[in-house]
Structure 1
Amino acid sequence: MTSATEPETPAAGRTAATPRLIATDLDGTLLRDDKTVSDRTVAALAAAEAAGIEVFFVTGRPVRWMDVVRDHVHGHGLAICANGAVVVDLHDGGRFVDVRPLESAAALAIVHAVRAAAPGASFAVERTSGIHYEPHYPPFQLDPCARIASAEELLDDEELLDNDGDEGGSGGSDGGHGHEGDGRGNPIVKLLAFHPELAPDEFLGLARTAAGEHGSFTRSSPTALLEISGPGVSKASTLARYCAERGIGPEQVVAFGDMPNDLEMLSWAGTSYAMANAHPEVLAATTYRTAANTEDGVAAVIEQILHGMP
């Protein structure tokens, strides 16, 4: 087991080359269990940016849950949220820069297929304006603005489709990216499915087999809660797009994660670290390890990277 001060690193304590970008998950990775960012981690992130290394937060969280790290995004201001479905500018009030939605027809097909494969499943629909859920879906975070109805109603609700508001405080997107799919003002960024009895990985396997052709399935919760994005949408695919725009190759990226929704990103990055507290699949898929999120494992690696820079 590695310690917080001695993470496993390539080439005796340094990455093979000085990275240009650090991509890190939040929950279970950068954040401590109380959802705070430690002083050591704040200092390490700032030092990396000062050294010319971009830091991207790449998370399954919706935009409205990004306040905890808003002050720690430096030069570019961008964060990848909802497992790659949205990119937001945290320097501009959470403005949506890019949205890669799940089309309503695909979401409805997923609901029907997952219900048939795993009776008892309940669903929530995450749109750019917020979350709405079925009556039996557990309200993990109560949202007073949520609409409660069947998944079919939530996916076909004209008011929800046409709501132009967004969860970050400003509307629309910019430049070369934007809302796709339904062509409406309030697209679906994520469908969530919960099962009260199945084990998390069992539920994930069943759902992927039943409906994998309609979307990208993953999970980041210790419960049987699945997160479903549009086909091909993942942390890795969106990160790769933004790295390509900056002329950054995967070999110049160091990534950190702990759960199955990080697997594609960790496999894509040239250097990847699993937290000591990571899911077994993540530990098996990554070459390097660092200390747990409670022991500032991300900061420990950043400190070593900076120490090894010329």
Structure 2
Amino acid sequence: MTSPSGSSSAPAPSPLPARPRLIATDLDGTLLHDDKSVSERTVAALEAAEEAGIEVFFVTGRPARWMDVVSAHVHGHGMAICANGAVVVDLHSGGRLLKARPLERETALEVVAALRAAAPGTTFAVEDTDGINYEPEYPGFPQDPGGIVATAEKLLRAGSGAGAGAAADGASPAPVLKLLAHHPELTPDGFLRLAREVAGDHATITRSSPTALLEISGLGVSKASTLALCCAERSISADEVVAFGDMPNDLEMLTWAGTSYAMGNAHPDVLAAASGRTLTNNEDGVAIVIEQILARR
């Protein structure tokens, strides 16, 4: 995402915690360059943080199967929070699921009905623990070319056969992690506002794409709430966390963390919410702040 001003600027002053214990960073538009690479400077900063005893958590909207971009740079615990907090996975074991916070299928069907009525032309995809499936008109991802094509209603109704997530032997359908909703004409922020108005009582609705693509999770499920659970398991307080992000799906995490940084290329709402600002993702803004933290230690 480009900077709101069209160019990068120097980081704004922000108080650094005396001894942070955990760094939580988004990936796309934050840690990764626009070409989806991790710079040598960033790799070195992540390694130095772990060596100094600071845990690094990747906290992303990506599914676990798209974590190959950073899986080689996970140290120690090997854990990552994916799908906007819907799952915690172990990247040391190929993305093995450790914790799931699913979206109930009946709730997802209610959201689908509300959005079809409020925004005709909306198309859907269903992300579950087995992969992702699409409606016929949904703009699919090139990373997932083999999804089942069916209506969202068929994909979400347990026991309706192939495409519903139910196993042939009658086993329970795979847990739904996210419902994705795309609109070809609405603005991204306008679609988000509308969806929250008509379905915000049923689910957590956010976005991270520059297009009108919404990410819908179980009510109360977010990057922040799952990160808080993981930190509580480690007796780490919010004040001991430094977080980085760039898009609306990072807002809860940035406001929960004791110290937070918006990237220079961040959405205006993120720039307003974070306690500090760093350079853009292409300028290694995350690495710069980590280097400052380590220099103070």
TM-score, with length taken from structure 2: 0.93
2:267 equivalent among 256, 260, 279: 279
Give SS of 2:196's match.
Answer: helix
144-153 vs 63-72, which moves further: 144-153
Matched, 1:206 2:207: no
State the alpha-carbon separation in 2 of the partners of residues 185 and 301 from structure 1. Answer: 43
How far off its partner does 1:64 sit?
0.8
State the alpha-carbon separation in 1 of the partners of residues 201 and 161 from structure 2. Answer: 26
State the alpha-carbon separation in 2 of the partners of residues 108 and 185 from structure 1. Answer: 15
Give runs of aligned pairs for residues 1-310 of structure 1, distance below 5 A.
7-11=11-15, 15-141=16-142, 143-156=144-157, 157-159=160-162, 160-163=164-167, 184-309=172-297
Contact 2:45 2:291 in 1 (8 A): yes
How far off its partner does 1:9 sit?
4.2
Give SS of 1:149's match.
Answer: coil
How far off its partner does 1:227 sit?
0.1
Amino acid at match of 2:197: T
State the alpha-carbon separation in 1 of the partners of residues 277 and 188 from structure 2. Answer: 24
How far off its partner does 1:142 sit?
5.3
Aligned positions, number = 287
Contact 2:26 2:59 in 1 (8 A): yes
Contact 1:161 1:186 in 2 (8 A): yes
Contact 1:7 1:300 in 2 (8 A): no
Give SS of 1:132's match.
Answer: strand
How far off its partner does 1:21 sit?
0.1
Amino acid at match of 2:125: A
Change (3 A) 1:42 1:210: same
Contact 1:129 1:163 in 2 (8 A): no
Amino acid at match of 1:229: S
State the alpha-carbon separation in 2 of the partners of residues 158 and 145 from structure 1. Answer: 17
How far off its partner does 1:10 sit?
3.3
Give SS of 1:16's match.
Answer: coil
Amino acid at match of 1:76: H
State the alpha-carbon separation in 1 of the partners of residues 136 and 165 from structure 2. Answer: 20
TM-score, with length taken from structure 1: 0.89
State the alpha-carbon separation in 2 of the partners of residues 31 and 187 from structure 1. Answer: 29
Give SS of 1:57's match.
Answer: strand
Deviations 1:13-63 (A, max 9, x none): xx1311000000000000000000000000000000000000000000011
Deviations 1:102-142 (A, max 9, x none): 00000000000011011110000001111001001111325
State the alpha-carbon separation in 1 of the partners of residues 33 and 65 from structure 2. Answer: 19
Amino acid at match of 1:195: H
Amino acid at match of 2:40: D
Change (3 A) 1:3 1:222: closer
State the alpha-carbon separation in 1 of the partners of residues 112 and 118 from structure 2. Answer: 10
Contact 2:103 2:217 in 1 (8 A): yes
Contact 1:7 1:301 in 2 (8 A): no
Change (3 A) 1:307 1:142: closer
Give SS of 1:42's match.
Answer: helix
Deviations 1:228-268 (A, max 9, x none): 00000000000000000100000000000000000000000
State the alpha-carbon separation in 2 of the partners of residues 78 and 184 from structure 1. Answer: 26
Structure 1: tracts of 5 or more residues without a match: 165-182
Q: Which runs of 4+ in 1 moved over 4 A?
A: 1-4
State the alpha-carbon separation in 1 of the partners of residues 120 and 245 from structure 2. Answer: 31
State the alpha-carbon separation in 2 of the partners of residues 184 and 249 from structure 1. Answer: 37
